[in-house]
Amino acid sequence: MGDVLVWLIWFLAAGGLLASGAAVVSVSNPFYSALALIANLASLAVLYLLLSAEFLAAAQVLVYAGSVMVMFLFVVAYLGGRADAPWAGGPPLLRTAALVAAIALLVEVVVVLGLAWGDNLSDPAEISAAFGSPGAIGELFLTDHLLAFEITSIVLLVAAVGGVILGTTPRRRGENEHRREA
């Protein structure tokens, strides 16, 4: 019964993921697009839980859905009518090329996956209860991946400084209070 339940949840989450992903790309209003991405993130969080990545699921919801996307909605609301841009357009050649490229990528990935399917994608490893816990991930970050951790922190710092500078325009100084959330 548990097996069926997992499959059911997987199908629901996968369906949500695909549908919301399609919505992100296709709707014309950025506000809806952002909402769709939030739904997408929620579906992803469910999938992460199925993959025993509890901490990542929570972090995803907290950081991504909770803060980043709130900021996104904030900006969309702030821009109001100016946020609307033409859906697509440009030369039809460009559109065709884009479609061809995307489909080519997709087909290739599926083909590559199909080639590898039988060999080593079938049986997942045994894992302990601590798999995906904050403690285990934190320890990895401070030992094996310390450099990556430090570089990430520098990237964040640079982004924070960049955000402040972008928000501080000489023309209207008073408005940059909101931008600091970056």
Partner 1 sequence: MNAAVTGAWVCLLAPLAGALAITLAGERISRRTAGWISTLTTFVAFAGALDAFIRLWARNHGDREVLSTAYTWLAAGDFEVGFQILVDPLSTVMMLVVSGVGGLIVWYSMGYMAGDDEERRYFAYMSLFVFSMLLLVEAGNFLLLLVGWGLVGLASYLLIGFWHERAEAVAAAKKAFVVNAFGDATFALALVLLVWETGTLEYPSVFERVDGLSSTIVTLVALGLLGGAVAKSAQIPLHTWLPDAMEGPTPVSALIHAATMVTAGVYLLVRTSPVFEAAVEIQHLAAILGAVTLVAAGLIALVQWDIKRVIAYSTMSQIGYMFLAAGIGAYGYAIFHLMTHAFFKALLFMSAGVVIHHLHGEQDIRRMGGLRAVLPRTHVAFGVGTLALVGIPPLAGFWSKDGIIASALATGGVLGWSLYLAALVGALLTGMYALRLYFAVWQGPPRETEDEAHTHASGQSEGPLSMLVPVGVLTCLSTIGGLLVVPGLWKPFEHWVEESAEALVHPTVAQDYATSVVAVALGLVGVWLARRAFEHGRQLVTDPTAWRILERKLYVDELYDAVFYRPAAALAVTLRQDVEGPVVERSLDEIGAGTLHAGGELSRAQSGLLRTYAITVAFAVSVLVVVFVAVR
Partner 2 sequence: MTQRVDWWVSLLQAFVVINIVMGGFAYLTLAERKVMGRMQLRYGPNRVGPYGLLQPIADLVKLLHKESFRPAAAIDWLYLLGPFLAAFTALATFSVIPFGPGWEIAGVYVPGQVADLDIALILIFAIGSIGAYGFIVGGWASDSKYALLGAMRTCAQLVSYEVALALSVLGVVIMAGSLSLTEIVAAQADSTWYVLPQIVGFLVFLLAGTAETSRAPFDLPEAEQELVAGYHTEYGGMRFGLYSMAEYINLITLSGLCVTLFLGGWHGIGFTPDWLAPAWFVAKVAVLLYVFIWMRTTLPRLRYDQLMRFGWKVLLPVATLNAVVTAILVVAL
Partner 3 sequence: MSGPGVGWYLILSAVVFGTGALGVMLRRSPLIVLLSLELMLNAANLALIAFARQQGDLDGQVFALAVMAVAAAEVAIGLGLIVALARRDLPLDVDQASALKG
Question: Looking at 9, 21, 46, 55, which residue binds partner 2 (CB under 8 A)?
Answer: 55
How far is the C-alpha of 1 from the C-alpha of 96, rounded, in Å? 46
Q: Does 78 bind partner 2 (CB under 8 A)?
A: yes
State the binding string over 46-85 for partner 3 (x if CB under 8 A, else -). Answer: -xx-xxxx-xx--xx--xx--xx--xx--xx-xx--xxxx
Query: What is the distance, to the nearest Å, from the Cα of residue 49 to the centroid of all Cα atoms in its chain?
Result: 15
Q: Does 12 bind partner 3 (CB under 8 A)?
A: no
Residues in the chain: 182
Q: Which does 142 bind (CB under 5 to 8 A by kind): partner 2, partner 3, partner 1, none?
A: none
Site for partner 2 in 88-127 (CB under 8 A): none
Q: Tell me how far, at minimum, the Cβ of 104 lies from partner 2, in Å.
A: 37
How far is the C-alpha of 158 from the C-alpha of 99, rounded, in Å? 35
Q: Which does 12 bind (CB under 5 to 8 A by kind): partner 3, partner 1, partner 2, none?
A: none
CB 85 within 8 A of CB 51: no
How far is the C-alpha of 102 from the C-alpha of 94, rounded, in Å? 12
Q: Tell me how far, at minimum, the Cβ of 87 lies from partner 2, in Å.
A: 19
Collapsed DSSP state (helix, strand, coil) of residue 128: coil
Q: Which residues bind partner 1 (CB under 8 A)?
A: 90, 94, 97-98, 101-102, 104-105, 108-109, 111-112, 115
Question: Looking at 9, 31, 46, 167, which residue binds partner 2 (CB under 8 A)?
Answer: 31
Q: Which does 115 bind (CB under 5 to 8 A by kind): partner 1, partner 2, partner 3, none?
A: partner 1
128 Cβ contact partners less than 8 Å away, ≥ 6 residues apart: none
How far is the C-alpha of 149 from the C-alpha of 132, rounded, in Å? 17
Look up tokens 């080519």; give the residue: 104
- Quick one: CA torsion of 94, 106, 57, 182, rounded to 10 degrees? -20
Site residues (vs partner 2, CB under 8 A):
31, 35, 38, 54-55, 58-59, 61-62, 65-67, 70-71, 73-74, 77-78, 133-134, 177-178, 180-181
